[in-house]
Amino acid sequence: MTVESKAKRKARAVRIMAILKKTYPNARIALNFNNPLELLVATILSAQCTDKRVNMVTEFLFEKYRTADAYAAADPHVFEDEIRTTGFFHNKTRSVIGAATRIAKEFKGKVPDTMEDLLTLPGVARKTANVVLSGAFGKSEGVVVDTHVSRVSQRLGLTERKDNAGDKIEADLKELVPRQDWIDAGNMMIWHGRMICTARRPKCAECPLNKLCPSAFKASDES
C-alpha cells in the first residue's frame, strides 16, 4: 500500500475543498439563531440530537429566555422539562445554566468572542466554541469537527485519527485546509456527511469526491 506524502495529501485536500464548494455553495449552520447567546445554547443542546429537534425546542426557549441572566436564573427542574426531548437533559441543563451564569458574571452578559474565553464556560469544548466563533462572529480559529466531519475526514483519508479524537482531527484538517476555508470546510463536510457520506450505506456512486476518496465503494456501515 502506497503511503501518501503530506504534500500530496494537502494537494488532494485542496481539490476536495474546491469540489465541496461547488456542491454545497450555501452550506451553513442548520441551527436557528439570532445572536451569539442563542447559537451557544442551541449548540450545547445539539449534542447527540438532530438540529431539527433542537430548532423545535429553541423556538420556545428563545422567546422565554432572552439574556444570559434569564438562563442563569432558570429553575433547573423546569429547564430540564423544557429541553427533555433533546436528550441528556440533566447535563445540558447544567451546561446551559452554568455557561450563562459565567457569562453574566464574568463577561457582562455578552458571549465571549475568543477561543480562550469560550473554553472557560461550563459545557463548552472546542467543537462548540468553533461553532459559536464561526457562526456568530465570523472568526476562523478552527474547524468544526462533529460526528459527520470525523467520519467524512476519516473516509477521505484526511486524517488517520480514530473516533472520539475531535481535537486531533481538527489539528490535521487545519494543516491541510487554508485558514480562509476553515469555516466553510466544517459546514460543507457536515452537509456532505448528512447528504452523501452517511454513516449507513454511504452513497459513493453519487459522491462527487469518489475519485479522490480512498474509501470509495469500500466504506462499511457504521452504527
Catalytic residue ranges: 127, 146
In a 3-state reduction of DSSP, which class is residue 9? helix
Q: Which three cell numbers stand for residue 142?
A: 478552527
For the chain, first and last CA: distance in Å? 27
CA distance linking residue 141 with residue 126, whole number of Å: 10
Neighbours of 201 (CB within 10 A): 8
Backbone φ and ψ of 157, nearest 5°? 75, 25
The DSSP code for 181 is G
